[in-house]
Structure 1
Amino acid sequence: MRHHRLVTALVSSAALAGVSVVPASAHEPVPSGAPITVEMTGAQEAPGPGDPDGHGTAMLRLNPGLEQVCWTLEVTGIAPATAAHIHLAPAGSPGPVVVTLSAPTSGMSSGCADVHRDLVRDIIDNPSAYYVNVHNADHPAGAVRGQLG
């Protein structure tokens, strides 16, 4: 219960303060931090269905010292993406957005977002409580999803 209250407070704070998203340049090095690579599929979307032909990979770098989450998203087999996020929820359940990512509108996106260090640490410590998904017009609740742990 304490974990849920902490994350709820962090999500509320992020929503009130705004979370900035900064696109990564091709010349910028990927910041150091805890790496997580996730395979995304339409079958993992909850509630489903996601796109049955959709597949993707989310490569994340979580750095609490820099208060930053960086990502590279690659998707195939879906209509053009309209949004991408990290959400708080276990496998099989939908949940609130905790980090906004840039949508891979042409199949790929990358960038970094400033995120409170407590949230970054919680994602590192409890990856199975979070997931990445990519949305599109055909699947507004999510075309592909991948649980972080």
Structure 2
Amino acid sequence: MTYSKLTQSLSRVSKLCLSLVLVISASSLTLNEAIAAEASGFRARLSPMPTTPQTKNTITGGGEAVASLAGNRLTLTGEFAGMSSAATMAHIHNGPPAQPGPVVAALTATAGTSGKLSAEIELTDEQVAALKANGLYVQIHSATNPAGELRGWLFAQP
């Protein structure tokens, strides 16, 4: 085989390999999109989220919420601890990450600095779409931080 033919063969092999890599990459992106679209499990890490500059030094605590989606029915449970004052209420809000949004539904929350969250909520189709697009978050309000002390966005879990 001549050098020219060898170079042409290697060029064809390189193009085939590149094509294969592109096909595999596109397939994995499509698979990841499909997983997100069909996600039924979600998790939120609850952490201090100042709602005003004045509250950044007064909020404390953390927690976690897990949720499952069956059709439009969202079931959520969670725990929190170490808040600066007793929880007064908790909600699911609609808003993209790092953006506040309106209340979607109330959650049941222990009235203490530590406790549990729970809810069974029937979401609208639009709210399900927001959930799957990382647009719903859990927020716990407290006596000293009525605008909200802990917050965490619900992200799909594989």
Per mean C-alpha deviation after superposition, the further-off stretch among 99-108 and 52-61 is 99-108
Matching residue of 2:120? 112
- What is the distance in 2 between the residues matched to 1:98 and 1:113? 9
Matching residue of 1:38? 44
Instruction: Tell me, yes or no, if the aligned pair for 1:45 and 1:145 is still in contact at 8 Å.
Output: no
Instruction: Tell me, yes or no, if the aligned pair for 1:88 and 1:98 is still in contact at 8 Å.
Output: yes
- What is the distance in 2 between the residues matched to 1:47 and 1:36? 28
Instruction: Tell me, yes or no, if the aligned pair for 1:68 and 1:120 is still in contact at 8 Å.
Output: no
Per the alignment, do residues 111 and 148 of structure 1 end up closer, same or farther by CA in structure 2, a change over 3 Å counting?
A: closer
Query: Does residue 70 in structure 1 map to residue 78 in structure 2?
Result: no
Matching residue of 2:63? 56
Residue 100 of structure 1 and its aligned partner are, at CA, apart by 1.8
- What is the distance in 1 between the residues matched to 2:137 and 2:117? 17
- What is the distance in 2 between the residues matched to 1:46 and 1:138? 12
Residue 41 of structure 1 and its aligned partner are, at CA, apart by 0.8
Higher helix proportion: 2
Give the % identical residues: 31
State the structure with more CA Rg.
2
- What is the distance in 2 between the residues matched to 1:73 and 1:45? 21
SS of structure 2 residue aligned to 1:102: strand
Residue 120 of structure 1 and its aligned partner are, at CA, apart by 1.9
- What is the distance in 2 between the residues matched to 1:115 and 1:96? 14
- What is the distance in 1 between the residues matched to 2:117 and 2:154? 18
- What is the distance in 1 between the residues matched to 2:46 and 2:92? 12
- What is the distance in 2 between the residues matched to 1:82 and 1:70? 21
Query: Does residue 88 in structure 1 map to residue 94 in structure 2?
Result: yes
Query: Does residue 144 in structure 1 map to residue 154 in structure 2?
Result: no
Structure 2 residue identity aligned to 1:120: V
Tell me the TM-score normalised to structure 1 length: 0.65
Tell me the TM-score normalised to structure 2 length: 0.61
- What is the distance in 2 between the residues matched to 1:77 and 1:145? 14
Instruction: Structure 1: give runs of 5+ residues left out of the alignment.
Output: 1-32
Instruction: Tell me, yes or no, if the aligned pair for 2:65 and 2:76 is still in contact at 8 Å.
Output: yes
How far does the alpha carbon of each residue in 1:104-139 deviate from its partner, in whole angstroms, 9 at most, with x for none? Answer: 325013231222244223312x11x22111111111
Instruction: Select which of 114, 138, 142 maps to 1:132.
Output: 138
Structure 2 residue identity aligned to 1:102: T
Per the alignment, do residues 118 and 91 of structure 1 end up closer, same or farther by CA in structure 2, a change over 3 Å counting?
A: closer
